[in-house]
Structures are given as C-alpha cells and as structure tokens.
Structure 1
Amino acid sequence: MAVLRTVIQDTHRKLEAAGIPDARLEAEVFVMNVMRMARQAIFSEQEAEVSEQQQASLDSMLERRFSREPLAYILGQREFYGINVMVTPDVLIPRPETEGLVEHALFMALMGMETTELTIADVGTGSGAIAINLAIHLPAAKIFAVDVADEVLDVASFNIRAHGVSDRVSLAIGDLLEAVPEAVDLIVANLPYIPSGRIPTLQPEVRMEPALALDGGDDGLDLVRRLLSQAKDKLKEHGIILLELDPEQVPVVQALALKHFPEGATGVEQDLAGMDRILAIHRQAPE
C-alpha cells in the first residue's frame, strides 16, 4: 500500500506531465481532499498509508483534471474572501481579483455612505459569493442577488442558506436591474466583460466555465451598457455603482457613466497586480 509521501510525489509528477499549472500545489490540494486532512497534516504524516479506495478516488479526480476541467469544479467548492462557496459548471468560479470588489463595497458602505442600513443589488450574482460576504459584514443591509437562469440561482440559494444569510439576501431572476424591485444605494456587478473574439484564446479551464458568465459581446461591454441605462431608474440619488472591468475598458466605461450621470463622478481602484480593475461611479459627485 502506498504512503502519503509517494502519492503526493506521483500526483505532482502526473499533473506536471499533463501541463497543469501550479502542479505541486494542486497535487497537495487533491491529496488533502481525498485523505480529508489539513494541509499541515499531509506534511507531518508523510508515512500515512493511502487506501486503495482513496487512491481510486484520487485517480478519478485526476482524470477529470487531465481534461482541463477546473479544480474548483472537481472539488465542488472555492474559497472566496474567507468563506467556502459551492460551485458547479453552471456558475463562474469566483476569482481573487473579485475580492477587491467586495473590499471596496464594504469600504464604501462603512465609510462613504450616510448609513449602513443599505439596500444593495449584486447583479450577476453567480455563486452568490459577493452577496453573501456583503451580508456577513453588513448585517443591517438588505441585498438583492440577481441572475438570469434558474440553475445559477439554485447554486446561489444553496450557498446563501449554507452561510445563514437568507434573511438578508433575496434572490431574483431577470435582466440585470429589471429584476430588482426597488431603488438601491449600491450596485455591485461583476458582469461578463470578455470580448467575444477573445473567448477562444482563453485557457482551457476558463473555456469550460459558462459562456453566459464570460462573453460580454463584441467589445465586452454589452451588459455594462445595459446596466448603466437601467441604473437611472434603480439607483438612489446619492447611490454608487461598483463594476469589475478589464483595465483596457475602464476609460471607455468612465466616459459612458458620465454620459448617463453628468452630475456624477468616477474613481478607479487597482487590483493586487496594480491593474485598474474596479470602477466606482457616483450618481452625484461627492462634495
């Protein structure tokens, strides 16, 4: 019977040979999952035996990964801003850069707005990761989490219930802000923003994610334009919109935003790589 040390080494070798990025880290994650062990344990218990059943489970997972199925779909979950959320192939896998959207929303809510008893719309909620984190950190807020497909909202619903925030997060199905039943203080949106022509050039793992969550049309901004048009009727007088964008799109969307809200103002926040990533749109320019 194989021991943990050799299984990790063998898994690393197989993943590396298959051209999987971060093969060593993924090998450790797969073994941790199969063995149901914490990260430190797989190093401190290197001579622990791996059963035939555990090896078979690991082999099954690796076959899926060799086809470039994303790790998060295989494991069925992803860590995001300190919580684990269930993910399926029906939803986009939450990205580390989107944590910046949550951070900036919390900063705006706690420091830049008149009250923490906010009404918030998370548009394109997907797994519900953004809405759940906002509900956890803003217990007085009322949040609407919106998407366009029942199968997506099924995932969000599971996660919302799992994290105990269903009393503060309401799900709605429909076209962006049209599904939001009342005016809101804050709109948070990580909409599809990849240009259609770029989709075939993406990593194989990304291409396995739902096209509905990736493809933003010819220039990637189809849904952003529609959101800004709808926002005039759904954003309160001193409301704020936070959008995650490709850095190249930021100047274009800034100009669009000021056409819709000529008395407004915009600000840009960078991601961990120093790239312009989050665009804040104030309906009324701050005094």
Structure 2
Amino acid sequence: MPSLREALQQTHQILEASGIPDARLEAEVMVMNVMRMPRQDIFAQQELAVSSQQQETLSQVIDRRKQREPLAYILGYKEFYGVNLLVTPDVLIPRPETETLVEHALFMSLMGMEVAHLVIADVGTGTGAIALNLAIHLPAARIYATDSSEKALMVANYNIRRHNVADRVTLCHGDLMEPLPEPVDLIVANLPYIPTARIPTLQPEIQWEPAAALDGGEQGMDQITRLIAQASERLNPQGSILLEMDPEQVPLAEELARQYFPEAETGVERDLAGLDRVLTISRGVAEEA
C-alpha cells in the first residue's frame, strides 16, 4: 500500500499533468478529505499507509477532477469566510472575491447603521453564503435571502440551518427584490454579471456551474440594472446597496445609480487582487440637527 507521502505526490503529478490549476493545493485537499484528516496531520503522518478502499476513493475523485468538474462539487462543500458550505451543481460556487462584499457589509452595518433594527436583503442568495455570514456576525439584524431558483433555496436552507441562523434569516422565492415583505436598510447582491458571449471562453470548470447564476446578458448588466431599478422603491431613505460586479462594469453601474438615486453617494471597494469589485450606493445621510 502506498504511503500518504506517495499518495500526495502521485495525486499532485496527475493533476498537474492534466492542467489543473493549483494542482498541489488541490492534491492536498483531496487527500485530506479521502483520509478524513486535518491538513496538519497529512504532513505529520507522511508514512501512514493508504488503504485499498482509500486509494479507490481517491482515484474516483481524481478521475472526476480530470474531467474539469469543480472540486467543490466533487467534495460537496466549499469554505467561505471561515465556514463550510454545502454546494451542489444547482448553485454558484462561492468565490473569495465575494468575501470583500461580506466584509464591507459588516463594516457598514457595525459602523454606520442602527444594528439593533437593521433589515438586510441578500438578493440572489444561492448557497446562502452572504446571508448566513451576515447573520453570524450581526445577530440582532433581520435578514431576507431571495432567489428565483427553488433548488438554490433548498441548498441555502440547509446551510442556514446547519449554521444555526435560521431564526435570523428568512428565505424568499421570487425575482430579485419582488418577494421582500418590507423595505430594507441594506441590500447586498452578487448577481450574474458575466457577459453572455464571454462564458464559453472561460475555464472549463465554469461550464459546470448553473448558467442562470453566471449569465448577465449582453453586457453582463441585465440583473444589476433591474435590481437598481427595483431598489428605488424597496430601500429605506437612509439605506445602502452593495453590488459585486466586474471592474469594467463599475462606470455603467455608477451611471445607473445616479439615474435612480440622484441624491446618493457612490464608492468602490477593491478585492484582494486590488480590482474594483464592489459598488456602494449610499442613498442618504442623516439630516444634521
């Protein structure tokens, strides 16, 4: 039977030869999951034998990954902002870029809003990643999480219950903000923003994800445009909007914001790569006494 060291080396070599990005890291994650061991243990127990059953399971995972199926779908989970989330092919896999959206939503909520009465809408919730993380860190807030996909809401429901925030997050089925029962103070959204023509040119893993969660129309702005229009009647007077988007779309979105919210201030937050990623629209500031 091969040792843990040999299993890691072989897995790394196979993935690298298949052109898998981050082959070394993915090899480690695969072996960790098959062996059911934390990362530090796979390095501390390099001579541990890998059983025949574990070899077979690892081989199956590798074969699926060689077909460029995303590792998150193979394993059934993805870590996001420090928590593990169930993911299925019915939902978009959470990206590190979206953590910028969560961080700024938390910053705005804790520094500039009445947290005890805060009402938030996570529009297009998918896995529920944004809503549940906001619920964890803002326990007094009330959060609505909307999605047009019933299958996505099933995944979100599982994640929200698993992380014990079901009492703070209400799931709503419908188009963007239409199912919201009341105006909100903060809108956060990671909507489809990839231009239709660009999707086939992206890496093979992207093609496994639901098209409805990726395709933003000709310019990638269809859903963002509709959300900004809907928000004009569903955002409280002192409320704010945070929208994740492609850096190239920021000027278009800022122009839309000026049309629907002429009194608002806008700003842009950069992601970890230094790219403009999150547009902020602050509808108003409290009047001075």
TM-score for both structures, normalised by structure 1 = 0.98
Rounded Cα–Cα distance in structure 2 between residues aligned with 1:5 and 1:282 = 53
**Partner SS, residue 143 of structure 2:** strand
In the TM superposition, 1:118-267 aligns within 5 A as 118-267=118-267
Distance in 1, matches of 2:286 and 2:204, equals 43
Work out whether residues 119 and 142 of structure 2, in 8 Å CA contact, stay in contact via their aligned partners in 1.
yes
Please give the alpha-carbon distance, in whole angstroms, between the structure 2 residues aligned to 1:45 and 1:114.
50
**Equivalent residue number for residue 30 of structure 1:** 30
Decide whether the 8 Å contact of 1:263 with 1:285 is kept in 2. no
Check whether the contact 2:115–2:141 (CA below 8 A) recurs between aligned residues: no
TM-aligned CA deviation for residue 113 of structure 1: 1.6
Q: 1:61-110 deviations in whole A, cap 9, x for unaligned?
A: 11110100001111100110011100000000000010000000000101
Q: Distance in 2 between matches of 1:141 and 1:163?
A: 16
Partner deviation per Cα, 1:151-199 (whole Å, 9 max, x = no partner): 1100000000000000000000101000111100000000000000100
Counterpart secondary structure, 1:157: helix
Deviations 1:244-286 (A, max 9, x none): 0100000110010010011111011111111111100011257
Kept in 1: contact 2:177–2:227 (CA 8 A): yes
- Check the 8 A contact 1:122/1:144 in 2, yes or no: yes
- Residues 265 and 285 in structure 1, CA contact (< 8 A), matched pair in contact too: no
Report what 1:103 is aligned to.
103
Any conservation in 2 of the 1:268–1:278 contact (CA below 8 Å)? yes
Listed as ranges, the matches of 1:7-18 within 5 Å are 7-18=7-18
What per-residue deviation string (whole Å, max 9, x for no partner) do you get for residues 100-154 of structure 1?
0000000010102234421000001000010000000000000000001111100
Letter in 1 for 2:84: N
Identity between Structure 1 and Structure 2 (%)? 66
CA distance in 2, matches of 1:254, 1:211: 26
Q: 1:275 to 1:286 in 2, by over 3 A?
A: farther
User: What is the aligned partner in structure 2 of residue 272 from structure 1?
Assistant: 272
Instruction: Count the aligned residue pairs.
Output: 287
Amino acid at match of 2:23: A
Secondary structure of the residue aligned to 2:33 is helix
Residue 114 (str. 1) matches residue 114 (str. 2) = yes
SS in 1 for 2:117: coil
Aligned with 1:94: secondary structure? coil
Task: Give the 3-state SS of the residue equivalent to 1:223 in structure 2.
Answer: helix
Moved over 6 A (4+): none
Structure 2 CA distance for aligned equivalents of residues 89 and 116 of structure 1:
36
- CA positional deviation for 1:210: 0.6
Post-superposition CA distance 1:204-231 (Å, at most 9, x none): 0011111010000000000011101111
TM-score (norm 2): 0.98
Distance 1:250 1:4 in 2: 47
Give the aligned CA root-mean-square deviation in angstroms: 1.0
Give the corresponding residue for 1:284: 284
Aligned letter for 1:146?
Answer: T
Cα 1:5–1:115 shift into 2, 3 Å: closer
Q: Write the letter of the residue equivalent to 2:70.
A: P
> CA–CA distance in 2 between the matches of 1:285 and 1:267?
14
AA partner of residue 33 (structure 2): N
List gaps (5 residues or longer) in structure 1.
none
Give the Cα separation in 2 of the matches to 1:128 and 1:101.
13
Partners of 2:114 and 2:43 in 1: CA distance:
50
Gaps of 5+ in 2: none
Q: Distance in 2 between matches of 1:194 and 1:116?
A: 36
SS in 2 for 1:179: coil
Partner of 1:19: 19
8 A contact 2:264–2:282 mirrored in 1: yes
- Could you tell me which amino acid in structure 2 is paired with residue 168 of structure 1? R
Inter-partner Cα distance in structure 2 for 1:278 and 1:227: 15
Specify the SS of the correspondent of 1:232: helix
